[in-house]
Each structure stands twice: as structure tokens, then as C-alpha cells.
């Protein structure tokens, strides 16, 4: 399921899913602050600004894999610290100019 607060993003996601042969994907207009994490999906992808990702991190920990982007290079240290505090292991980090993206997984305690 894809959630975005921008109707244009939702309308673009549908043809992109078809183009990439993703079956069964659904998209809805919504507010990430109201997302119910009780469903614990296997994978979460999020391209949000760092502060919002850090705020949402306690809700993200139930998922096995996280692909997170939208983090400014200058915010990397705070972001990595938040991942560690929320029991997420960074598998990979990529940098493109001033932006960062992370692949992380839930640490099994």
C-alpha cells in the first residue's frame, strides 16, 4: 500500500506500479502521522524529510526491511543515531550529492 498526502503523487504511482509490473499495489491519500503500524509490512519505503522519518521511526521498527531516502547529508549523523536507538541495523547507505538513502532492517533482539 502506498500512502501520500499529495493527490498528484497517488495518480503517478498507479501507472508507475503497472509499468514496473507490480501487481496488487494500492495507493491512498492519507497522512503518515495517522498510519497504523499494527499491520507490520515486510518492507517500507519512504522518501520523506529526515525529521519526519526520525519521528516515525518507532512505528517503522516492526517491518523487516526499510528503504529510507530524503535525508540531507548534513542530517546523516542524527538520522543514523535515531536508527540505532530504534534497533535498526543499517545494511547500506548511498549518497548522491547532498542527499542520502539507507537500506536498514529490524535488529532481532
pLDDT at 96: 93
**pLDDT per position as a tens digit, 13-46:** 889 989 999 888 888 888 877 776 666 677 888 8
98 pLDDT band, cuts 50/70/90, is very high
Mean pLDDT to the nearest integer, 77-82: 92
Query: Quick check: 3 and 28 in contact, CB under 8 A?
Result: yes
pTM to 2 decimal places: 0.75
Please state whether beta strands 43-47 and 65-72 pair in parallel, antiparallel, or not at all (unpaired).
Answer: parallel
> Mind listing the domains of the chain with CATH numbers?
1-30 (no CATH), 40-106 (3.40.50.150)
Mean pLDDT to the nearest integer, 76-92: 90
Q: Residue written as cell 536508527?
A: 83
**pLDDT per position as a tens digit, 59-76:** 766 667 888 898 999 999
Q: DSSP readout, 30-87?
A: --GGG--GGG--SEEEEE--HHHHHHHHHHHTTSSEEEEEEEEGGGHHHHHHHHHHTT
Query: Quick check: 65 and 107 in contact, CB under 8 A?
Result: no
Amino acid at each position: 500500500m502506498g500512502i501520500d498526502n499529495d493527490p498528484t503523487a497517488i495518480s503517478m504511482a498507479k501507472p508507475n506500479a503497472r509499468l514496473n509490473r507490480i501487481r496488487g499495489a494500492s495507493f491512498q491519500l492519507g497522512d503518515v502521522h495517522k498510519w497504523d503500524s499494527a499491520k507490520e509490512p515486510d518492507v517500507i519505503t519512504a522518501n520523506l524529510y529526515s525529521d519526519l522519518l526520525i519521528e516515525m521511526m518507532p512505528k517503522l521498527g516492526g517491518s523487516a526491511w526499510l528503504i529510507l531516502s530524503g535525508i540531507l547529508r548534513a542530517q546523516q549523523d542524527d538520522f543514523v543515531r535515531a536508527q540505532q536507538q530504534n534497533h535498526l541495523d543499517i545494511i547500506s547507505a548511498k549518497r548522491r550529492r547532498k542527499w542520502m538513502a539507507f537500506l536498514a532492517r529490524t535488529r532481532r533482539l
